[in-house]
Amino acid sequence: MSDATPRLLCRELSLLAFNRRVLAQAEDTRVPLLERLRFLCIVSSNLDEFFEIRMAWLRRTQQLAPHTVLANGESIETVIANVTRETHAIIAKQYQIFNQVLIPALRQEGIVFYPRTHWNQAQQQWVADYFHRELLPILTPIGLDPSHPFPRLLNKSLNFVIELEGTDAFGRTGGMAIVQAPRILPRIVKLPRKLCDGQDGFVFLSSILHAHVHTLFTGMNIKGCYQFRLTRNSDLNVDEEELENLRLAIVDELRDRQYGEGVRLEVADNCPAPVADFLLNRFHLSQDELYRVNGPVNLVRLMSVPDRVNRPDLKFTPFIPSIPAVLNDSRSVFDVIRQQDILLYHPYQSFEAIVRLLEQAADDPQVIAIKMTIYRTGSNSDLVKALMKAALADKQVTVVVELMARFDEETNVNWASQLEAAGAHVVYGVFGYKVHAKMALIVRREEGELKRYAHVSTGNYHQGTSRFYTDIGLITSNTDITADINTVFMEITGLGQPNHLHKIAQSPFTLESMLLESISREIEAAKAGKPARIMAKMNALVEPIIVEALYAASQAGVQIDLIVRGVCVLRPGVAGLSENIRVRSIVGRLLEHARVYYFENKGQPNIWIASADWMGRNLFRRVEVATPIENPQFKQRIIDEVFTLALADNQSAWLMQPDGNYQHVVPAKDEPIINMQQELIEKYQQYPVLI
């Protein structure tokens, strides 16, 4: 590696590389066809957020500080140019896969997307009836003139720009008009099977409106009708100096989020240049920020198609998560936890165990207090309902609701209001520090004494995502761990200096130092000629301090395996810098979400499960917890199931190259196929009694 080569990769390009890996799933013929369509939609959803947050940040930084040099050593201008080029390439590839691969393959399976030029007479009549019944009553065409200014468009909404000519009833001459598709309308409409020769047939809302747009402009000549979509900056900005009530400030910001500055304009590829330029000027965007697409401007809405088609043969085979046998008997869950800890690996093991824990706590007269964090929990949560039930039963319920959980702010504001109405104490953490820790504490009176029970996890208390996010949780009555969790809650809700913790490492106080000290111990062991190894699994590796520590460990001879699902700015495999570091990413049917750290520690491995990735925000600007796993059986399970399987995977794994590109791992000739996620699905289906 030359001196001119940056030691860190570009964070944004690394994130886009992850989306390349997801997009590869849409091309992989080993993946069931409808799941391939779903992966294509996931890329669109990911890119939406990328533009709303990361690209918006880059553009804003360029405006405020145009000479900024980013962590990878490149100017903000260079990074924006590189990122823009890559996003255009990804989106072009995405639509090529959609049009040339998926649509023909779906048609062969009797799942058809009918373009309006191919509707038969019966389909045309049905669409016309649908338009007049469902669309026409709620559409509001807006002709652009001095008394009708350009409408304020919602972020990511579907809109149409119409070129008109002629004179209307008031003597106004034609020009341009805008039609907004209300969000209440589905973007893809399923036709009756009898109109599709018994097949599953769909038409796009954009096609329906195109076919009947003349109805909205009686007597005018329609020169053209073109769909477009504007993506806006969606990051919330709450000013601490002007803050009086965080919840009210969040509500105010949510109203404005839909109308942030534009960062991307998507238009149909048949949109004439003058019309596209008109829209670009309207939203103060450049040609680089224009994305012409050959198809619907919002592929995310196709996510519903697999669920609307009864074709289990074209989807992943469903599996039923197991529940540890010790939780399946008639004993109270507290009787079980008092005797043994329980380690859960979701979704292979059911999240229902956590729901049951909270529901029993709400009903148990011996439980006197419950404390819990909420970062993401969903709009319909049995866990939050259990907390409200407990509060209504006069238990002391304290809930730390993170109102700044990105894109879950509105849901969390609603839950906060309902919890308060039920009598729970609701706090919003520490302003400036997101509470990202996933922990619950239950206090129970037993034989005249108070006994604590706790749950800590790598993932959110979200029943929906728990079905396809892989996460690890520990249920324990360990006195040191439960005392530590109580201390962290006290720090969040009260005031005072950081307290001593017995076992847990905590951001923003001790987690970074724990990681650096652990890496240093491995360096010392390697220099002394002893076994030295680091393994870590996470969603992202961005923090330069940690990267440099890992480089130093590699140079000392420490063997390092990193399993990083998404962003990784570390360069692996560089001679003299990181030749002992290997980075791989697992992309499969489930979203790899668990954060787990392993340090060899001279043959006495230290293993932690954590809520934190190795990013600056997690280590310095969030409240996070990392919990040691000390039970030997649990340690071995984590080594076998989290690390050994991931490092052996030769179907869903991608190996990172020094330049930041990824190479898909494929089995050697005569080598058995190992798919980490499928192996674990089959293991827990076969052995549901594991704890």
Please give the Cα distance from 635 to 632 (Å, whole number). Answer: 5
Q: Could you tell me which residues are beta bridge partners of residue 148?
A: 145
Burial class (CB in 10 A: 0-12, 13-18, 19+), 319: middle
Tokens 């809700």, located at residue: 493
Helix (H) or strand (E) holding 231: strand 221-232
**Phi, psi (degrees; rounded to nearest 5) at 685:** -70, -35
Q: Could you tell me which residues are beta bridge partners of residue 264?
A: 231
Helix (H) or strand (E) holding 547: helix 544-556
- Contact between 118 and 203 under an 8 Å Cβ cutoff? The reply is no
**Among residues 7, 2, 148, which one has the least CA distance to residue 70?**
7
Q: Transcribe 268-304 into DSSP letters.
A: ETTS-HHHHHHHHHHTT--GGGEEEESS-S-GGGGGG
Residue 89 DSSP label: H
CA 236 to chain centre: 17
Please give the Cα distance from 688 to 677 (Å, whole number). Answer: 16
Beta-carbon-side half-sphere exposure of residue 617 (alpha carbons within 13 Å): 10
Beta-carbon-side half-sphere exposure of residue 130 (alpha carbons within 13 Å): 20
Helix (H) or strand (E) holding 487: helix 479-493
Please give the Cα distance from 99 to 264 (Å, whole number). Answer: 22
Cβ-based neighbour number of residue 367 at 10 Å: 21
Please give the Cα distance from 576 to 579 (Å, whole number). Answer: 7
Please give the Cα distance from 676 to 263 (Å, whole number). Answer: 38
**Among residues 628, 638, 598, 596, which one has the least CA distance to residue 613?**
596
Q: The tokens of 33 are what?
A: 């066809």
- Classify 320 as helix, strand or coil: coil
Q: The tokens of 228 are what?
A: 């477009």
Please give the Cα distance from 26 to 237 (Å, whole number). Answer: 36
**Among residues 215, 199, 225, 198, which one has the least CA distance to residue 130?**
215
- Classify 239 as helix, strand or coil: coil
Q: The tokens of 272 are what?
A: 């004439």
Q: Cα torsion at 647, 521, 558, 8 (round to 10°)?
A: 80
Please give the Cα distance from 672 to 685 (Å, whole number). Answer: 21
- Contact between 290 and 278 under an 8 Å Cβ cutoff? The reply is no
Active site residues: 436
- Contact between 561 and 582 under an 8 Å Cβ cutoff? The reply is yes
Q: The tokens of 691 are what?
A: 């704890």
Please give the Cα distance from 117 to 124 (Å, whole number). Answer: 10
Tokens 């898909």, located at residue: 664
Amino acid making up residue 354: I
- CA 6, 8, 11, 13 torsion: positive or negative? positive
Cβ-based neighbour number of residue 497 at 10 Å: 6
Helix (H) or strand (E) holding 385: helix 382-392
Cβ-based neighbour number of residue 357 at 10 Å: 23
CA distances from residue 118 to 79, 124, 134, 212, 625 in whole angstroms, order as listed? 44, 9, 22, 15, 57
